[in-house]
Amino acid sequence: MSFIQRRIVVFSTFFFAIVLIGLLQSWNVALGIFNLCLISATMALGVNIQLGYAGIFNAGVMGFAALGGLAAVLISYPPVPETISLGGAGILLSAIIIAITTLASIFVSRSYLSKLYKRITIFAFILISLFLINIYGSPAVEKIESFEPAASGFLGGFGLPIIFSWVVGGVFAGLVAFVIGKITLGLRSDYLAIATLGIAEVIIYILKNEDWLTRGVKNVNGLPRPVPYEIRLQESTWFIDFCERYNFPVVESSSILVKLCYCSLFLAVVTILFIMSEIALKSPWGRMMRAIRDNEISARAMGKNVKARHLEIFILGSAIIGLAGAMLTTLEGQFTPTTYQPLRFTFTVWVMVIIGGTGNNYGSIIGGFIVWLLWVEAEPIGLYLVELITSPLNETNPFRIQLLTNAAHMRYIMMGILLLLVLRFSPKGIFPEGK
Amino acid sequence: MDYLNALALITNYILLPGLTYGSQLALGALGVTLIYAVLRFSNFAHGEIMSFGTMVCILFTWLGQSYGINFGFLPTALLFLPIAILFSVIYCILLEKTVFSYYRTKKSDPIVFLIASIGVMFFTAGLIRFIIGPSDQSFNDGVRFLFTVRDFKNFTGLNEGFGLKTTQAISVITTMALCFLLFWFLNKTRTGKSMRAFSDNEDLALLSGIDPNKVVLLTWVIAGGLATFAGVLYGLDKVYKPFIFLQMLLPIFSAAIVGGVGNPLGAFVGGYIIALSELFVTFAYKKVLGYILPEGLGPDSMMQFLSTDYKFAVSFIILVIVLILRPTGIFSGKTL
């Protein structure tokens, strides 16, 4: 079987499964799953650029995705004028202080002072700026957070169309990736994995606790959508006419249409990213990346700046993950920092890339599709399996009830087994690199 | 000015909890560092192995309690700790046999090991949530305090005091004993020396007739045992949360790296460094300064560097500082 046939077979099997869900459950469910499949595929493309092209391990996918979500909030939510007049100045001042400190520290570290002096001055800068922020920032934060905490209590955003946040989310994630990459990319890959694991946790802690920025665990609901609302559709005459002409149920069709709109937006993003990644992979740049990955020493001997290239690719990949995070928040219409969990975001995306085939963009896409489908369908499958295994037991057996209530967690077991099996018996994944 | 009161406050809120948490971290970091030293990969599944051992311990404790077994003023869980250790050691050996030994004989890249350990993490996390569920479990049934703050105040007549929780005493004493045993084992016994030799230079160790399988299995046994100790002590001291162990990976790895990866002494010290700095940075010094500074100079604000919510961020900041200033760690372990 040539690899083109293989691609056709695998992808059509997946779409067959989606159609099957559409026919058996409902088209609404099928499209809902498919939309999240597309977002997963975007994330997987980002991780694949890092892991597949350059062999860089990023265990902070969750954090970068959350930064994308933050961007969605900041761009799309309408500004809250009261809180801005209460504490906007203090926050702005703090931001300026942080910016000045950063610039000054960079200036000092680039200067010709001895290492010890550099460290002492930078440390002093940080202490002074912390002190100043405590004076100017903290009262402002308190004022903002105490303003109608049940409904608002944060600064709001810029009130722009949420689509812009997809780019901004990428920029946010890229900036954080730049800082982390600068620190850790020179060291062996384990360090990067641990450091990114850490930065992801820290980002989530910040998003959970800085209420003035994100409302923290109180969540931000009702982000404006880039697509029409179901209720508006159900009221508009053209839509009702359209449904009557083809005999569609109005309520269900409206939500299907909304999902289709999202779907086309996401599909456009995935297609553009995919084409760009493929071009990059086949370009001299992509060859250089693979050369660096396969033999760093010889690549360095050929005059390639390995550290700079690694940083470049780390930023690119993280930016794509940030974009996917913004897409996810756009789809959900709300930002809930507590849902960001490493097992769900970071490591599942790894499983997608590895199962699909590291270094192969087709692989990342199909990996994202298949793993998300399994992730969603694991609950019914798990429930069915547990029912089957415990069927000899009595209906009221506490052990059986316990297992049945926990059956949803079968998905973690499935992911683990899947990853271990693929790694052991088919380490190149569904679509091996270059095929 | 009242230094004794300030000291009592710091002991109660920083030193005792810090030493306790530090002991638990040190035990976890020792496991990570041993696996790194012998098998040369960062084991992301270590947190879940801790969780697994604790879960077994809780299940047996419940079983024991239903038969009316208890351990006097000590928590019943300690009685069933050996069984839990046995289970998690068996689990670790099964992991080695089914998952890791294949990559070891193939001499795979450390990154492949790391991915395999992620798979193990997923599987174990699922297994734990499947068996015991995702909710918190409190299983400490012993006497909570050896002496309380009030006892201390009555005894000394100070305004402030510190209480000693049973679990704090148990954690610190157990960790000291275990570490003493471990260092004695690594430095004095023939098997321990063979482990160190293997970690130092695999080829040379093989030439000297050291059986690699034996060394690797022994490493898993020790790591699994220590992980169970760490998990159970943590669960007794606070509460058992299946979700917390993935978050604890970060402080554990930080502890191992700060001390120097692959160096047991480093992991031991690193655990305490991380734990104490977490508490030192997030403690509100208002009351302490009120005692130390002359009358009327006491601060009005909380005098807190970082809010308690950012406890876990401290270990990350320390990790980054160590990575920038001294990537080999304090005790010059191997550079990862």
Distance CA A210, CA A7 (A): 46
Q: Which residues of B touch A189 (CB under 8 A)?
A: 110-111, 114
Note whether residue B201 is domain-resident: yes
Q: Which residues 43-62 on chain B approach chain A with CB closer than 8 angstroms?
A: 44
Q: Do A205 and B320 touch (CB under 8 A)?
A: no
Q: Give the residue-averaged pLDDT of B40-51.
A: 93
- Say which of A130, A201, A412 has its CB closest to residue B247: A201
Q: Give the residue-averaged pLDDT of B3-9.
A: 83
- Say which of B42, B116, B129 has its CB closest to residue A423: B116
Note whether residue B170 is domain-resident: yes
- Say which of A205, A354, A417 has its CB closest to residue B123: A417
Beta bridge mates, B164 = B147
- Say which of B115, B310, B336 has its CB closest to residue A191: B336
Q: What percent of chain B has pLDDT over 90?
A: 44
Of residues B45 and A228, which shows the higher confidence score? B45
Q: B334 falls in which pLDDT band (50, 70, 90)? A: low
Q: Give the residue-averaged pLDDT of B13-39.
A: 93
**Is residue A58 scored above 60 in pLDDT?**
yes
Query: Which residues constitute the domain of residue A304?
Result: 3-79+156-425
Cβ-based contacts under 8 A for chains A and B: 135
Note whether residue B335 is domain-resident: no
Residues in chain B: 336
Note whether residue A130 is domain-resident: no
Q: Do B254 and A198 touch (CB under 8 A)?
A: yes
Residue B74 phi, psi dihedral angles, 5° rounding: -90, 155
Instruction: State how many domains chain A has.
Output: 1
pLDDT digits (tens, 9 = 90+) for A3-43: 888 899 999 999 999 999 989 888 899 999 999 999 999 99
> Which range, A42-51, A243-252, A372-381, B67-76, is most confident?
A42-51
Note whether residue B264 is domain-resident: yes
Q: In this predicted structure, what is the pLDDT of residue B12?
A: 86
| ipTM exceeds 0.85, yes or no | yes
Question: What CATH number has the domain bearing residue B81?
Answer: 1.10.3470
Note whether residue A297 is domain-resident: yes
Distance CA B99, CA A421 (A): 9
Q: Give the residue-averaged pLDDT of B272-289.
A: 87
Beta bridge mates, A113 = none
Q: Which residues of A touch B118 (CB under 8 A)?
A: 347, 350, 419
Which residue of B lies nearest to A354 if distances are taken between CA atoms? B115
Name the minimum distance, in Å, from the CA of A328 to any CA of chain B: 23
Distance CA B54, CA B237 (A): 12
CB-CB contact of A191 with A252 (8 Å) = no
Q: In this predicted structure, what is the pLDDT of residue B150?
A: 83
Q: In this predicted structure, what is the pLDDT of residue B269?
A: 93
pLDDT digits (tens, 9 = 90+) for A211-256: 888 888 888 888 888 888 888 888 888 888 888 888 888 888 888 9
Q: B218 falls in which pLDDT band (50, 70, 90)? A: very high
**Is residue A363 scored above 90 in pLDDT?**
yes
Note whether residue A119 is domain-resident: no
Q: Give the residue-averaged pLDDT of A359-377.
A: 93
**Is residue B336 scored above 50 in pLDDT?**
no
Q: Do B133 and A190 touch (CB under 8 A)?
A: no
Note whether residue A230 is domain-resident: yes
Note whether residue A133 is domain-resident: no
- Say which of B102, B110, B129 has its CB closest to residue A406: B129
Note whether residue B330 is domain-resident: no
Instruction: State how many domains chain B has.
Output: 1
Q: Do B257 and A202 touch (CB under 8 A)?
A: no
Name the minimum distance, in Å, from the CA of A378 to any CA of chain B: 12
Q: B335 falls in which pLDDT band (50, 70, 90)? A: very low
Q: Do A415 and B122 touch (CB under 8 A)?
A: yes
Q: Is B290 on the interface with A (CB under 8 A)?
A: no
Question: What CATH number has the domain bearing residue A302?
Answer: 1.10.3470
Of residues A143 and A349, which shows the higher confidence score? A349
Q: Which long-range contacts (CB under 8 A, 24 or more apart) does B181-190 make?
A: B182/B30, B182/B222, B182/B226, B182/B264, B183/B264, B183/B265, B186/B264
Q: Do A343 and B125 touch (CB under 8 A)?
A: yes
Note whether residue A74 is domain-resident: yes
Query: Which residues constitute the domain of residue B272?
Result: 3-325
Residue with tokens 């995705």: A65
Measure the CA dihedral A267/A268/A271/A272, to 10°: -150
Q: In this predicted structure, what is the pLDDT of residue A394?
A: 74
Q: What percent of chain B has pLDDT over 70?
A: 96
**Is residue B160 scored above 60 in pLDDT?**
yes
Q: Which residues of B touch A405 (CB under 8 A)?
A: 133
